[in-house]
Chains A and B, each alone.
Chain A
Amino acid sequence: MSKPNADEEFFSRLAANDEAAEATPIKAPSRLKAKVYSALVRRQTAYGSLLSVSASKANGQSLCIFEKAVEILPVGDGIKSLNFCRVCHARVAAEKIENAPIYWPHCPYAEFQNR
């Protein structure tokens, strides 16, 4: 018969060992990150407009090629605040394919890829 204290010690040590091993993260699938990001941005647009791409740039963020194109257009902030990713092929590919072949600089979906 095993002693209860020995059992407690055995399992506590296993758990503690596991916690230390958890320090090495497992990479989340890039597909998952893409889906989570899309869901968060969809939720944000339900609360109101996104920050315009010009304002994002002014905050020091880098824009992807499509966002840059919108940013230089002579249009109001209403247009620049739209969720362009919603209609972008990069989003569709990244949500469906693990390590999708998308390489646009500063595209979040390209940056989620575990390459």
Chain B
Amino acid sequence: MDDPQLVAAVLRRDRKATADFVSQHADGIYTFLCNRLIPRTDLVEDIVHEVFLAALESLSKFQGISSLRSWLLGIARHKVEDYYRVRLWEPLSIDGNDAEPLPVEPAFDEFIDREQVAHKVRQVLKSLPEVYCLALLWRYWENRSACEMAAQTVRTEKAVERLLARARKQFKRRWNEVER
């Protein structure tokens, strides 16, 4: 069954098609959310739930311009950004010795094994204060500029840039520590 057929069957309230809809897309949404909510993986299951319910609500608007998978990931991305927005809206209570210079710059020549690097990235992100982790994910994994992030929170662009600078520094420090 292709995407438009599957959508039409779900809209006809065919229970079997609804099961196919979940079977085919739950893993993709789950993977995406696990990677974007690294510090709060406890939220992943609830958000997967919300994504599917939101998708069902607006399934009649699915036009098939993109694949159903991309469309669902778009909904998941909105949910993730809602979470980032709320967390970055809250006042920061970050301690840290950001004034310390970074001892060694992270090296690029270690980008040999993709899986190994991805594992290390997750390990380092998990070890960061939540707000730093979310700021980095929003900026680099979701490709949002500091200006866009500022527009969606009560922060100024300068404040977001300062937050990102601290987050990058902490990330790189931990990256080097994991290496050692």
Contacts and interface: CB of A to CB of B under 8 A. Distances in A.
Interface string B8-38: 0100111111110111001111111011000
A97 to B, nearest CB: 15
Interface in A81-114: 83, 85, 108, 111-112
B117 A14 contact: yes
Binding site of B, secondary structure by majority: helix, strand, loop or mixed? helix
Contacts of A33: 22-23, 26
Contact of A40 (B28, B30, B56, B172): B56
A32 B121 contact: no
Nearest to B171: A11
Interface in B135-180: 136, 139-141, 143, 168-169, 171-172
A74 B174 CA distance: 68
Contact of B23 (A14, A48, A55, A112): A112
A59 to B, nearest CB: 6
12 contacts: A13-B111, A17-B114, A17-B117, A18-B121, A20-B114, A22-B32, A25-B31, A39-B53, A40-B52, A55-B14, A56-B16, A108-B23
Interface of B: 9, 12-19, 21-23, 26-32, 34-35, 45, 48-49, 52-53, 56, 101-102, 105-106, 108, 111, 114-115, 117-118, 121, 136, 139-141, 143, 168-169, 171-172
